[in-house]
Amino acid sequence: MANDRPTLYTGVTNNLVKRVYQHKNNLVKGFTSKYNLHKLVFYELLNTIEQAIIRKNKLKI
């Protein structure tokens, strides 16, 4: 998720549509609501949660 600054947020979910809806409507309290991160700019589909967490951590470096 991103905003116009750009500030970026990366995360892991098993339901992308639901999670994007939550972020766009500030239903998730924290980083995304604080910085108004409402734009989905990129996503990847991975086979396991372990792969997703490893990939997320690599993106944060």
Q: 59: which strand partners?
A: none
The pLDDT tens digits for 19-54 are 999 999 999 899 999 999 999 999 999 999 999 999
Place 17 in a pLDDT band, splitting at 50, 70 and 90. very high
- Secondary structure class of 37 (helix, strand, coil): coil
The whole-angstrom separation of Cα 51 and Cα 55 is: 6
Place 61 in a pLDDT band, splitting at 50, 70 and 90. confident
